[in-house]
Structure 1
Amino acid sequence: MTQTLPTLPLPPNRPRRVAFAGTPNDAVPALLALAQAGFDIGVVVTGAPRRRSRRGRDTPSPVSATATELGLPISHEPADLTSAGADCAVVVAYGRLISADLLSQVPMLNLHFSLLPRWRGAAPVERALLAGDDVTGVCLMALEESLDTGPVYWRHEVPIGPTDTAAHLRIRLADEGAQRLVESVTNGLGTPEPQQGEPTYARKLSTADREIDWSQPATHIDRQIRVGGAWTTLNGQRFIVRGGTPSSATHDAPPGTLFGDAVVTGHGIVRLDVVQPAGRPAANAQAWLHGARLPSGTRFG
């Protein structure tokens, strides 16, 4: 599938005054890189402060905290991207769609953590890992109103290793993407190219996506664990598997059966490394097993 180039304005080849929109930790390296490279950042638009734990207070987003340290003006209104006198806006993991009206007023660049058009959407790193992709990456594209459809200035590939977690991949993509973003806006953006190929969509992972089905192969369950938040049940209560190691070893017990520190799957076993029983902090699996004194034949799920 090939797209036509958009009718929206494109950024100048070498913008100097920029606006920035981003919210989570993934967006911080790009903001820091732009500031350290000497770009004039007219405004930082980010998500509003929110409560991050049940008993905690409202706290600013990671991007907001970084902007405060840098002495940059902060806003929670997307419309302020257009009123800062910027040559363009840089958007990284902002978390909200930007309207066509705003896009028509100021050109916008988007740093996206996938190899577009594969994995458009909210959870590209997690979906790439869960699907068993060998490679992921980061793209710089011109932002359009529709979801991640804009033409692409460049793609940078990052291999997915057998032990990579989604959290580690996001850190690497954010750091390498930030470096290449600054190189592009400093040396010249060039002309973006329409996306090529059949798109796939990275919807946000649900609780059901993270539930372990022990009849699946150990390799699939391992990917769920590396995505983060993989869970099962033990004695009717939720049990999170924070770390594990797959193996092709076989066992004749039914899937979900615990023997030693390993759980039987539909093909192979998963050795438990870090676990989190209901109402407890994460713990080394060996230490938990020693204290839990589970009967022989205990089954998860």
Structure 2
Amino acid sequence: MNNDFKRLAFVGTPELSVPFMTSLCSSGYDIGVVVTGEDRRRGRGEEPSPSPVKRAAIEMGLPVIHEIEEVENFEIDLAVVVAYGSFIPVDLLERVQMINVHFSLLPRWRGPAPIERAILAGDAKSGVCIMEIGEEFDVGGVFTRQEVEISPRDTTETLRDRLIEAGCELLVSTLGDGLGAPVPQVGEIVWAEKVTPQERAIDWGLEAEKIDRLVRIGGAWTTFRGERFKIWKAEANTQQIQGSPGQLVGDQVASGKGALRLIEVQSQNRARQEFDSWKLGARLEENCVFGDG
């Protein structure tokens, strides 16, 4: 462990941040304070509940605050930020050294949705960067990076899990070796906007492999009998089948190029289920079509 960073602040909010906090603790780092988002309601009518990071921090006996400015009240050598989700004042960055963990190979996929965008684009690899925090999002220099291969069947969840594992190891080793000088980002800058619900709507005129990537990021939807219909698991078939785009043929839906074999689906206001089970109860007519409005 590098003696320059004996005492840390950890700054994060969602579930994916928790393994980084626990990895730092198990590696011998003293976390003097945890900064996380405010308690909020997770569902209609529910009482406000703590963020996953706050819940884990309390279980570990760590002090928790919600206002990032208050981090100055604690004696720390460095603040580690992992998916905090709130603005960090620029003047605070001038007084408290902070580093960030980002889930892409910067400068490709700067922004809030790098994992989903990498899968949608058909990228062969993603990665993790340990970077400095600047005035603008994800533009700071990079201390260290680690590539992670994207497999042809990766979903947002499976890729995220591998990035978290690689990121935890990278963070601990980076702190242990000392940060050194950050390297400016070089290469094509690509922004990773959040994927909107409308972007998740399936265009059956596209090739099946592109539709499959949309399904693998989660929340892909079409319409059936005038109602929203989600597809949670599927496989692309590059062979063309008889049928117009959107037409169901057996367990496959024809597309602009190839077809999509349906595995797990969800009708509106129903639970997710295997396609074969859904099909048995759907009373399908001949030549039924998805994307019917």
Give the TM-score of the pair, scaled to structure 1: 0.93
Cα distance between partner residues in 1 of 2:77 and 2:239: 58
1:194 equivalent to 2:184? Answer yes
Question: What residue in structure 1 maps to residue 266 of structure 2?
Answer: 276
Cα distance between partner residues in 1 of 2:268 and 2:197: 16
Q: Structure 1 vs Structure 2: percent identity of aligned residues?
A: 48
* CA pair 57-272 structure 1, distance change in 2 beyond 3 A: farther
Q: 1:57: how far off?
A: 3.1
Question: What residue in structure 2 maps to residue 253 of structure 1?
Answer: 243
Counterpart secondary structure, 2:242: coil
Cα distance between partner residues in 2 of 1:265 and 1:58: 44
Question: What residue in structure 2 maps to residue 7 of structure 1?
Answer: none
Cα distance between partner residues in 2 of 1:210 and 1:283: 19
Aligned residues of 1:97 and 1:145 also touching (Cα < 8 A): no
Question: What residue in structure 1 maps to residue 159 of structure 2?
Answer: 169
Question: What residue in structure 2 maps to residue 225 of structure 1?
Answer: 215
- 1:233-287 CA distances to partner (integer Å, 9 max, x unpaired)? 1111111100001011212311111111111111001010110110011001111
Q: Of 277, 282, 287, which aligns to 1:287?
A: 277
Question: What residue in structure 1 maps to residue 34 of structure 2?
Answer: 44
Question: What residue in structure 1 maps to residue 136 of structure 2?
Answer: 146
Q: Segments of 4+ in structure 1 off by > 6 A?
A: none
Give aligned pairs, total.
290
Aligned residues of 1:218 and 1:247 also touching (Cα < 8 A): yes
Aligned residues of 2:208 and 2:258 also touching (Cα < 8 A): yes
Cα distance between partner residues in 2 of 1:300 and 1:50: 37
Aligned residues of 1:14 and 1:189 also touching (Cα < 8 A): no
Q: Gapped runs of 5+ residues in structure 1?
A: 1-11
Q: 1:55: how far off?
A: 4.3
1:178 equivalent to 2:178? Answer no
2:14 is aligned with what amino acid? Answer: P
Instruction: State the superposition RMSD in angstroms.
Output: 1.3
Cα distance between partner residues in 2 of 1:288 and 1:277: 8
Counterpart secondary structure, 2:107: coil
Q: 1:66: how far off?
A: 0.9
Aligned residues of 2:243 and 2:249 also touching (Cα < 8 A): no
Cα distance between partner residues in 2 of 1:94 and 1:21: 6
1:296 equivalent to 2:286? Answer yes
Question: What residue in structure 2 maps to residue 101 of structure 1?
Answer: 91
- 1:34-61 CA distances to partner (integer Å, 9 max, x unpaired)? 1111211111111112222234332211
Question: What residue in structure 1 maps to residue 76 of structure 2?
Answer: 86
Q: Gapped runs of 5+ residues in structure 2?
A: none
Q: 1:186: how far off?
A: 1.8
Cα distance between partner residues in 1 of 2:45 and 2:287: 39
Counterpart secondary structure, 1:115: coil
1:266 equivalent to 2:240? Answer no
